[in-house]
Chain A
């Protein structure tokens, strides 16, 4: 159960007609570092044309550029980050991040960690974990480049986060996933349904551990760049049934989560999730979870 035809057929069953897409490069301004620095004008003077991403406050598409946006002084000084547009959504869904204790459970290479720090104006604490030590170097470089000063980084599996003996009021679960064809040209050759199912199991384990570390009134934002419902809506349906979580309504770019997945009816609240089929952005899925009132 693999191959392009197999997956494209699945997407059609879910209501989306496959089309090839060309991803647009996007950047995100690090407001804490760039404030008052007239960054847009500086980039324009280098030949970088930007277009505001309509659903993001600090995100821009790179319409054209005479230089590599990953090699300008402004980039190296941490005034902006290169971050795919849909991937900029999850961190913005938390309420009141400043001075909070935040867990970024699968943090490397650190794009969202830096975004969290920016949204927190470097207040509070971000605890950033990653299971792969090699990826922690990239995360550390990212934190240094962007002058993040409120993060603690540990080499730790997200499934062991409770070893930290901390309760978090905000938890970002940008979980390991199967990815999607828009971000990987060989995706259809590489992926099988078995991979999807294996990732879905891993994601449930991470979710379960996250709930153990979540304060009673805390928020979890769960995201993947997978289009496969097993890693998204089906997992959220499982989470509300097994982890006493409820799905919060969110207001962001994308479509409602699917509640009919290959003939299976999911909890109606799963439609509060957001699914983004690839177009100008990669495929993406995001939702916000809280502990169910009365069962904390």
Chain B
């Protein structure tokens, strides 16, 4: 559970997870509900809500976990439609595409990237303070939902 809490902390977010409902398999973390906990067997492949995996000592969050973090207090930026499209294509975010900032604006901080509807598209790292000039990349893309397409290739 620690990798998940540490990951959330990087976004200035707190997440309440019931340790008794968490299961781990092959470095992958899943959150169950009571019904699933009652029925689950050890040899499961996937269970409940996938939260992310640890690989080579590094935590890779699921998009479920990012969406959970985005519902609460956390570093977030909201981007316009064009920036949202570019972001899910794997591109970075320019200052001119940012329409709102919540939480940290500091260079080096991690931030969730939301579209105009408040839906979490992924996350990135602030490369320039979010008060930078319009033409500067302010958030470097680390992970975005376009990954679902890239996984299938």
Contact = CB atoms under 8 A, between A and B. Distances in A.
Interface in B38-80: 39-41, 43-50, 62-64, 67
Contacts of A166: 39
Given A125-B35, A145-B63, A166-B39, A155 B121 contact: no
B102 interface: no
A152 B40 contact: yes
Given A145-B63, A147-B64, A149-B49, A76 B36 contact: no
- By DSSP majority rule, is chain B's interface helix, strand, loop, or mixed? mixed
B85 A149 contact: no
B35 A140 contact: no
B41 A73 contact: no
B85 A154 contact: no
Contacts of A76: 88, 145-146, 148-149
B84 A140 contact: no
A98 to B, nearest CB: 12
A153 to B, nearest CB: 4
B134 to A, nearest CB: 23
Contacts of A205: none
A141 interface: yes
Contacts of B40: 152
A73 B46 CA distance: 24
A153 B119 contact: no
Given A152-B44, A153-B45, A138 B35 contact: no
Contacts, number: 83
B39 A101 contact: yes
Interface residues of A, number: 31
A237 to B, nearest CB: 34
Interface in B111-144: 115, 117, 119, 121
B151 A141 contact: yes
B115 A145 contact: no
B64 A152 contact: no
Contact of B119 (A77, A136, A143): A77
A73 B83 CA distance: 12
Contacts of B62: 144
Given A73-B88, A152-B40, A153-B44, A140 B50 contact: yes
A27 to B, nearest CB: 16
B10 interface: no
A144 B64 contact: yes
A144 B44 contact: no
Contact of B45 (A141, A145, A149, A155): A155
A11 B78 CA distance: 56
A150 interface: yes
B149 A71 contact: yes
Contact of A150 (B48, B117, B148): B48
Contacts of B63: 144-145
A229 B40 CA distance: 37
Contacts of B84: 73
Given A76-B88, A136-B46, A155-B45, A145 B148 contact: yes
Interface of B: 31, 33, 35-36, 39-41, 43-50, 62-64, 67, 84-85, 88, 115, 117, 119, 121, 145-146, 148-149, 151-152
Interface of A: 37, 42, 70-71, 73, 76-77, 101, 124-125, 127, 133, 136-141, 143-145, 147, 149-155, 164, 166
16 contacts: A73-B119, A73-B145, A76-B148, A77-B145, A124-B35, A138-B152, A141-B151, A141-B152, A143-B46, A144-B50, A144-B63, A149-B49, A150-B36, A152-B36, A152-B44, A152-B48
Given A73-B145, A144-B50, 14 more contacts: A73-B119, A73-B121, A76-B148, A125-B39, A133-B45, A136-B45, A137-B151, A141-B148, A144-B64, A149-B31, A150-B48, A152-B39, A152-B41, A153-B47
